[in-house]
Structure 1
Amino acid sequence: MLSASPAFSGFSVDDLEAARGFYVDVLGLDPVDNPMGMLEFQFLHGGRVIIYPKPNHQPATFTVLNFPVDDIDATVDGLSARGVAIERYEGIEQDGKGISRGKAAGMGPDIAWFTDPAGNILSVLST
């Protein structure tokens, strides 16, 4: 019934201007015009996300946005150079950069997590 819908994802932040600075200036994303004043980003292959302000925002306790990348080490290095802290999670083995190396162990992609200014969890993962 909904399989042909151009579905998209959205999540909230407590400060839209801080989010804009992070997603545009730090992550290098290009926002598209959104008539409702929200942040909106379109990605290759038709993916789309909207980020909207919510006064009583509570950060998600799970990953809300994943960025597949060709070179996770270079991407993590670049994020770190821009002041982005890579999260470390108890019970998950991560190397010195904070990357969980699942690919070599046959346990999924290599992945590293970080948060936006509102505390939402994002990730970069190997393709």
Structure 2
Amino acid sequence: MLQTSKTFSSFSVKNIEEAKAFYELIGLKTKVGEMGILGLELEGNENIMLYPKDNHEPATFTVLNFPVNNIDEAVDDLIAKGIKFEQYDSEYLKTDEKGISRGEQGPKIAWFKDPSGNILSVLEG
């Protein structure tokens, strides 16, 4: 039964209008639906559902990944729109001045947060 179910992802945000403005800024189509639910309309996927939660606490992991053909172009475009990328400098994870991890293992990836603190990424692949 579940293997034929059309799945979708969802996560909470502090404020739907703030989330709507942010996700439109980064180039996504949005739609506010019943009960104040915000839908992100992504090409090739089912919609992502964002719902308001008064006591929202952002996850400590990436909730949404955006595969891109060229990470430098994607990061530069988002920086031009005012997006700030996370900086990491640990034994296992280092990012460059743009916020891109170019490690030998795994894809080139850069993380940023939405206004509610949810972690998003762009990754080359």
Deviations 1:6-40 (A, max 9, x none): 1101000111111111001x211111352333110
Using the size of structure 1 for normalisation, the TM-score is 0.90
What is the letter of the counterpart of residue 21 of structure 2? G
Q: Distance in 1 between matches of 2:13 and 2:42?
A: 20
Q: Tell me which amino acid in the other structure corresponds to 1:51.
A: L
CA distance in structure 1 between the aligned counterparts of 2:59 and 2:106, rounded to whole angstroms: 22
- Percent identity between the two aligned chains: 52
Quick one: which of 113, 119, 122 aligns to 1:121?
119
AA aligned opposite 1:49: I
Letter in 2 for 1:21: A
Gaps of 5+ in 2: none
Aligned to 1:76: 75
Aligned to 1:96: 97
Structure 1's consecutive aligned runs of 4 or more residues displaced over 4 angstroms after TM superposition are none
Question: How far did 1:123 drift?
Answer: 0.3
After TM superposition, the structure 1 = structure 2 runs for residues 6-85 of structure 1, keeping only pairs within 5 Å, are: 6-24=6-24, 26-32=25-31, 34-85=33-84
Which stretches in structure 1 are left out of the alignment for 5+ residues?
Answer: none
Name the aligned partner's letter for residue 17 of structure 1: E
Q: How far is the alpha carbon of 1:3 from its aligned partner?
A: 1.5
Root-mean-square deviation over aligned CA pairs: 1.3
